[in-house]
A and B are shown apart, each in its own frame.
Chain A
Amino acid sequence: MADYIESISEAVLKYDVELVKKLVPEAVESGVDPILIMNEGLSNAIIEIGDKFGREEIFLVELMIAAEACMGGVDIVKKIILEKKVDAVKPKGVIVIGTVEGDIHNIGKDIVKTLLEAAGFEVHDIGVDQRAQNFVKKAIEVNAKIVASSALLTTTSPNQKAIEVELKEAGIRDKVKTIIGGAATNADWSREIGSDYYASTATDGVKIIKKYFEDVGK
């Protein structure tokens, strides 16, 4: 059993997407607990990869492919859990993410999304060029705890303020935390509009969100 967990971790750490897809069903067939595969095989590996990227030991492309390998395994485990009616794994947290209205930049947002999903969070990506109301609507719909918005242009960053306003008007501002990022933003802007967190890079954003849910869970 331990061998399978280790092999799955190793496959993620070696960026071997296909091997992860092969090993996960094999492990389940051999009687390994799917929850254990998720938490110890896949999740630990992606945390290790994330730390390596944080220490600048690996490049982003390696991080992203490892995340893809991990997500491939997670999808299989989820399917098996549904089929076998095993108690579902509770996501570590629910996040709504998107790029604000007028802005079509998606890369930073997509990195945050991929890494959060690979780390076991439930991420609802509403896409690019999204009105403030759409962030709020989705947050209410999925009971999100964090609303993350990206703005790459100084002309579109005011739409992050609009999200703050809309959350207040919808009466859920005290129920969610907001985090902003993107080239047009900085800590001053975050303070000015009243967002809870500012991330200067995609990976910082992931760290902040992870820490928030860890602290809340304590």
Chain B
Amino acid sequence: MFNQYFGYYLLNKGLVTPEQLSQALHYESSTRVKLGVLAVDAGLMTAVQVGEVHDLQRAKDKKFGELALEKGYLTVVQIEELLAAQAKGHLTLIQTIADKGYMVLGDIEKALAEFRVECGITAPGSASSAPIDDTEIKKLLDFSQAGDNAHVLYSYAGLTLRNMVRFLNETPFMQPEAIDAEHSSQWVASQRIIGDLNITIDLIMDEQTVLKAASRFSGEELTIIDEMALDSIGEFLNVHNGVYCSLLSTDGFKVDLQPQTVRKQKNSTETSGCPIVITTLLGRFDFRLSFKVLSKNSSTS
């Protein structure tokens, strides 16, 4: 996610060209992030200090960490933390842009600082976007029967909680067990993710929840179920799933979204799949995820 958003930021500021960004995105997956870039991102060293250590490396046959330690720029603990971060593979876009000479490290440092301010990210090092922590969700939901797909369900549930806050400005509560709601007069927004993962996502809501959520998402006061209300709820699901696909893309999955649809549910057997049920003051949001094939590392259906 960080690469896509920071790439957009650089493009928007005219700091890289579309061609350069496209090239950088192409090569970043095979790039190893160096300690200097990680130290700048973490706010532990300036680009000037990194440049100084690089100059020393050319004169002496020593590693970056050793020289930064000698100069007093980094402590042993900090170097260990940076090495751990290096293994996670964040910031590959920045490293690629630096390696290809599209920007010098000093300009990247400045852009990173401005990006953090504009995006409201205050802590250095957090620009690389921490993965979703699903520890709390695992306490509430048991997806163990989903087998290889359990991790997908946990990460989708975590993102859904976040996006309820982000897109609807609502405090969400996850229900530990899916209680079958009255399925008459329910609406279903559906969308498929296809590619390395094949998931059908149904979002089931009653009429009042559709109206309240559609009004909140569109910024319009919607009082009747019409094309605008249904379109808004479909677009909410589309934007939410788009963020999920971006996360999957970061994890190396190649997936695409199909256009969403919204329909009136005829009966409760029409929708199946693993439930993720979230309640807010707007109403109940009943997500159902059905998997077809998991193909990245296995062919489990």
Q: Do A and B bind each other?
A: no
